Every structure is written in C-alpha cells, then in structure tokens.
Amino acid sequence: MKHYKNAASGILVPLAALAFWQLLSTMGWVNATILPSPMQVLTKWWAYLRPMEAFDPTQGTYLKWCFSGELPQDAMGSLYRVLLGFVIGTGLALPLGLAMGYSKVVYGLFNPLIQVLRPIPPIAYIPLSILWFGLGNPPAVFLISIGAFFPVLMNTVTGVQNVDSIYLRVGRNLGASRMTQFTRIILPAATPYIFTGARIGMGTAFIVVIVSEMIAVNNGLGYRILEAREYLWSDKIIAGMFTIGLLGLGIDTVMSRLSSRLLRWHRGLEQG
C-alpha cells in the first residue's frame, strides 16, 4: 500500500506541470509553433507510434505491423545502441576498476592516464570516431562505450578502496587466501558502488546516444529529433524527448529493482 501511495504522490508534480502547460497553450500565451500544447504533442506522439500500413495484393487489404511504426523502430534502434555500448563500456571498466582498486601497482600505472582522459567529454571524440569507424552504428556505439566506461570505472575503484580494513584483517586471521578475500569480501562490499556507477553510466549512455545519432547515423530518436527541428515540428521534437525520458525511466527502474533485490543483505547490515 505504501508503494502505491509513493507512486501516486510522485505523479502529482508532473500532472500539475502538464496542466499548467496546457493552460498556457489554451490561453494563447505561448506560440504553438514554439511550444505546442500537451494534446498536440500527444497527437503527434500517437501518429509517430502508429503502425505503418502495406497493401496486400492477394487479399486486397492493408496490413499493419505493431512494431513497424516510425517511433518503435527509432526507439529500438536507440535502445540497441545504448545497451550494446553500455555492455562494452561496463565490460571493460569492471575488470580494470577491480584491479586498480585492489592493487596499488595497477592503480599507479593506470590512474595518471585515466585522470587525463576522464574530463574529456565523449562528444569531443565525435570527429575521431567518424574518421576511425565511418558512419552508422560503430561510431555511435564507440561514443556510448566511452560515456559508460568512466562512471563504472571510478565507482568500482572507489568501492574496492573503501572496503573496511577490519573485514580484511578478519579474513586473514581466519586463513582466507587473497583470492577468497577478493571474491568473498572485497567484491561483495564494492557491489553497491558498482551498481551506482552502472546507473550513472546508463544515464550518460542515453545522453551520448542522442548526440551521436544526430551526427553519425540516419535513424534513431536523436536523428528524428534533428530532422523534426529542420522542419519546425516542435511537437515531434517534444514527443521524441518524452520517449527518451520514458525509455531511460524504464531502464533505471529495472536497474534499481535489480540492485534492491541483489543488495538486500547490504541493507540488512546497515540497519543492524
């Protein structure tokens, strides 16, 4: 019951914002070309979502495919790039972050380079990514991988380095080997930090995918938003933006639920 109350209270502010937005449009206080009303955006979003039709000469009728609309195709294209880039970036960041956090030698070797590269935004790599990979999915996935890499890496390093030394001493006193200490003490203790880094990395991946699609590919939500800007379709721009937000919310909710389920033991220790 408490969960539903929290969900209901969380909807109040968005509903109030939509009502105020609709009021501005109804009263004519804003130009509809610049800021269309929520109903206009919803209408465009439905048209953007609506399945495409194809004529079947054998039946003399039109056929519809539920995932053949422009919006589902763009959303699936963007989601594919986000997930692939996130998996690559996280797959590279996790082992390096664990090694840097665990070994002072590895940390000393890689940290200077990491600190030089980390402040460079992924967008700055766009010219190089196009030169290296051309156009299409490869440069977009490369940029997304960079965007996801550093949040996961830095949070993993921090998580390993912040393991309470008393747990390590207890493990040594009980005769645990270095591998056992790493798998049974260090890795579980660093997991909350890793999940936090993954959620930040996923958010960065969504930012980068939109920018990369505006430059390197000819489909996806970012590409469609840029196309709508050129034709002054502000309702389609906002519909695309809301779609990005809904996708991000859905993935973050899944990651949050997964984190809560896997880290129930951690909450129990904190409460204890």
pLDDT more than 90, % of the chain: 25
Whether the Cβ atoms of residue 138 and residue 78 lie closer than 8 Å to each other: no
Residues 181 and 238 in one domain: yes
pLDDT the model gives residue 8: 61
Helix ranges restricted to H, 162-214: 165-173, 178-181, 187-213
Q: How many CB atoms lie within 10 A of CB 64?
A: 12
Residues 132 and 251 in one domain: yes
Rounded to an integer, what distance in angstroms lies between the CA atom of residue 241 and that of residue 261? Answer: 30
Residues 83 and 189 in one domain: yes
Higher pLDDT, 112 or 188: 112
Span 117-125, average pLDDT: 91
Residues 17 and 92 in one domain: no
Residues 7 and 115 in one domain: no
Residues 18 and 74 in one domain: no
Beta bridge partners of 26: none
Residues 237 and 126 in one domain: yes
Res 130 pLDDT > 70: yes
pLDDT the model gives residue 58: 53
Does residue 44 belong to any structural domain of this protein?
Answer: no
Q: What CATH number is attached to the domain comprising 138?
A: 1.10.3720.10
Span 50-77, average pLDDT: 61
Span 71-89, average pLDDT: 91
Does residue 240 belong to any structural domain of this protein?
Answer: yes
Radius of gyration, CA atoms only, the chain: 24
Span 218-246, average pLDDT: 86
Residue 3 pLDDT level (bands cut at 50, 70, 90): low
Residues 139 and 220 in one domain: yes
Residue 5 pLDDT level (bands cut at 50, 70, 90): low
Res 75 pLDDT > 80: yes
Rounded to an integer, what distance in angstroms lies between the CA atom of residue 112 and that of residue 94? Answer: 18
Does residue 174 belong to any structural domain of this protein?
Answer: yes
Output the six-digit token pair for 180.
């056992």
Residues 25 and 75 in one domain: no
Rounded to an integer, what distance in angstroms lies between the CA atom of residue 207 and that of residue 80? Answer: 14
Rounded to an integer, what distance in angstroms lies between the CA atom of residue 38 and that of residue 241? Answer: 13
Residue range(s) defining the domain that contains residue 17: 1-30
Higher pLDDT, 32 or 150: 150
Does residue 54 belong to any structural domain of this protein?
Answer: no
Which residues have CB under 8 Å from 37's CB, separation 6+? 21, 22, 25, 26
Rounded to an integer, what distance in angstroms lies between the CA atom of residue 172 and that of residue 180? Answer: 10
End-to-end CA distance of the chain: 25
Least confident interval from 13-22, 154-163, 237-246: 13-22
Does residue 57 belong to any structural domain of this protein?
Answer: no
Residues 91 and 23 in one domain: no
Output the six-digit token pair for 231.
């034709």
The count of domains in the chain is 2
Output the six-digit token pair for 107.
């940390």
Task: Supply the angle between the helices 187-213 and 137-161 in degrees, to the nearest 10.
Answer: 150
State pLDDT tens for residues 152-171. 999 999 988 888 777 777 77
Output the six-digit token pair for 129.
């990514």
Comparing C-alpha atoms, which of 236, 260, 202 is closest to residue 81? 202
Does residue 46 belong to any structural domain of this protein?
Answer: no
Beta bridge partners of 55: 62
Residues 87 and 143 in one domain: yes
Does residue 89 belong to any structural domain of this protein?
Answer: yes
Average pLDDT of the chain is 81
Write the DSSP symbol of residue 163: S
Res 51 pLDDT > 80: no
Please tell me the number of Cα atoms within 13 Å of 67 on its side-chain side. 4
Res 33 pLDDT > 60: yes
Whether the Cβ atoms of residue 25 and residue 36 lie closer than 8 Å to each other: yes
Output the six-digit token pair for 258.
């997964």
Output the six-digit token pair for 38.
């929520």
Output the six-digit token pair for 243.
């779609």
State pLDDT tens for residues 244-271. 888 888 888 888 888 777 776 555 445 4
Does residue 220 belong to any structural domain of this protein?
Answer: yes
Residues 26 and 74 in one domain: no
- The whole-model pTM stands at 0.80
